Amino acid sequence: MGQLTVNTQKGSYNVHIGEEVYDLFSSDYHELLMNADKVAIFADETAGALHLEKIEHSLQSANIPFVVHILPAGEKIKTPECYISCQSFLLQHNFTRHSVLIAFGGGACGDLTGFVAATFMRGIPFLQCPTTILAHDSAVGGKTAINMPEGKNMVGSFHQPAGVLFKPSLFKTLPEREKRSGMAELFKHALLADQDWTESLLLSPSFPNLSEELLTVELEKGIRVKAEIVAQDEFEHGVRQFLNLGHTLGHAIEAYFGFGEVSHGECIMIGMAYSLILSEEFGEISPEFTSRFIEFAFASGYPMEAIAKVEFNPLLQFMKKDKKVHSGEMVFVLLEKPGIPFTQTISEERCEEAYKELKIRLKKGM
């Protein structure tokens, strides 16, 4: 079983990767769960239908009583209405500030459960048990949030989990599209961290369908990148911003289509292509590298063409609501080269030009 530690202001917690992670309910996390007066699993519909018995069985083996709350799958789980109904669920089941939550599902389930845990009676502990590849990113780092009609992740807290338990065999049942979504964030971690790693992924013939063994190795590398950045800058005043690579445009596209219509990672893949185009001017990225990335994205099945239909102005409105906006100026994460990110303020005009350029390059790539 792989294990790495995330250090934060309020202490550290562990991220575990492997087939036996749920055995930790009987060991590493037994005290936390036994001392809780109530335990709830917040499972999304998808994970609940496919895998709930696995986590239930492990909790039962550890003699831990629990209740299960099944929530809608996808981004619907992150509405204000769902957030409030979860709080009512806990109160109606007599949960207290000594209770513990377990998030069992995709990234959206973890974000919602984390925000419920952050704010129920001003904060209770929670465990992250992600069931998707994408959640390897969101489950680590303590960013919790819900969406507003006006934008994604607009309301939330920093609330670190008590532990993160990854069980890679759960990823076997993921649809192709969900795998692509998760692997986009993995690719982002490579782009931020390491040129060689980036190159090896670009050359990977089976991306995004890595074998379970290879996936476990790659995920652990991705989480390590995330954990190191979070430890340096938990509250995103500095280097943590780099994790938003591809997210300013990506989130705008996601919001434009309506959350859930296109997958998060697919949008981020397009957002990274956009950042690479901007990085040609502001950094040292070559047009050749951007082209290889776009070809790789097409070859890996990312639906890059969807973007070609969207006009710039509606996306701009969403980008202006982005949390990275400061005094009306848009700040983007760009790359000097893979492994060396930086932030850059960019004018609306330049953003629009780069967007036109992106459309042209995507057409070439098709």
What residue numbers does the annotated binding site cover? 107-111, 131-132, 143, 152, 185, 247, 264
Among the listed ranges 167-175, 176-184, 276-284, 326-334, the one in contact with its own copies (CB under 8 A) is: 326-334
96 binds its own copies (CB under 8 A): yes
* 58 contacts 23 by C-beta, under 8 angstroms: yes
If one asks whether residue 323 binds its own copies (CB under 8 A), the answer comes out as yes
In the chain, the amino acid numbered 353 is E
Q: How do beta strands 163-166 and 11-17 pair?
A: parallel
Tokens of 68: 């299960």
Cβ 335 vs Cβ 164: under 8 Å: no
Contacts with its own copies, 118-147, as mask; x by CB under 8 A: xxxxxx-------------------x-x--
- Residue 95's identity, in one-letter code, is F
Tokens representing 93 are: 């089941």
Taking the complex as a whole, the smallest distance from the CB of residue 268 to its own copies amounts, in Å, to 19
Least separation, in Å, of the C-beta of 326 and its own copies? 5
Residue 88 sits in the site that holds its own copies (CB under 8 A):
yes
Binding residues for NAD(+), as ranges, are 107-111, 131-132, 143, 152
11 binds its own copies (CB under 8 A): no
Give yes or no for a cis peptide into 208 (omega within 30° of 0).
yes
Which of these ranges, 184-192, 193-201, 217-225, 315-323, lies near its own copies under the rule CB under 8 A?
Answer: 315-323
Say which residue the tokens 């848009």 belong to: 330
Pattern 150-169, binding to its own copies, x per CB under 8 A? xx--xxxxx-----------
Q: Which CB sits closer to its own copies, 80 or 287?
A: 80
For its own copies, the closer CB: 117 or 186: 117
As given in the structure block, the two tokens for residue 111 are 């974000």
- As a whole number of angstroms, the distance between CA 24 and CA 183 comes to 26
Distance CA 280, CA 246 (A): 15
Binding window for its own copies (CB under 8 A); candidates: 26-34, 83-91, 305-313, 343-351:
83-91
**CA–CA dist 55, 20 (Å, integer):** 11
Residues forming beta bridges with residue 12, ordered by sequence position: 7
* CB nearer to its own copies: pick between 235 and 238: 235
Cβ closest to its own copies, residue 14 vs residue 157: 157
Give the binding range for its own copies (CB under 8 A) out of 128-136, 149-157, 278-286, 306-314: 149-157
Q: Does 80 bind its own copies (CB under 8 A)?
A: yes
- Residue ranges of the binding site for Zn(2+): 185, 247, 264
Using CA atoms, how far residue 28 sits from 118, 127, 240, 262, in Å, is 22, 12, 29, 38
CB burial of residue 189 (10 Å; 0-12, 13-18, 19+): buried
Length of the chain: 366
Task: Provide the Cα torsion 265, 267, 272, 278; round to 10°.
Answer: -170
Nearest-approach distance from CB 336 to its own copies, in angstroms: 25
Residues 19, 23, 28, 30, CA torsion sign: positive
The mark string for 220-259 relative to its own copies (x by CB under 8 A, - otherwise) is ---------------xx-----------------------
Using CB under 8 A as the binding rule, whether residue 313 contacts its own copies is answered as: no
Closest CA to 364 of 311, 292, 309, 302: 292
Q: Which stretch binds its own copies (CB under 8 A): 92-100, 182-190, 193-201, 276-284?
A: 92-100
327 near its own copies, rule: CB under 8 A: yes
Spatial CB neighbours of 196, under 8 Å, sequence gap ≥ 6:
none
Residue at 309: amino acid letter: K
* Residue from the set 30, 177, 224, 320 that interacts with its own copies by CB under 8 A: 320
Contact set with its own copies (CB under 8 A): 37, 80, 84, 87-88, 91-92, 94, 96-98, 115, 118-123, 143, 145, 148-151, 154-158, 235-236, 320-321, 323, 325-328
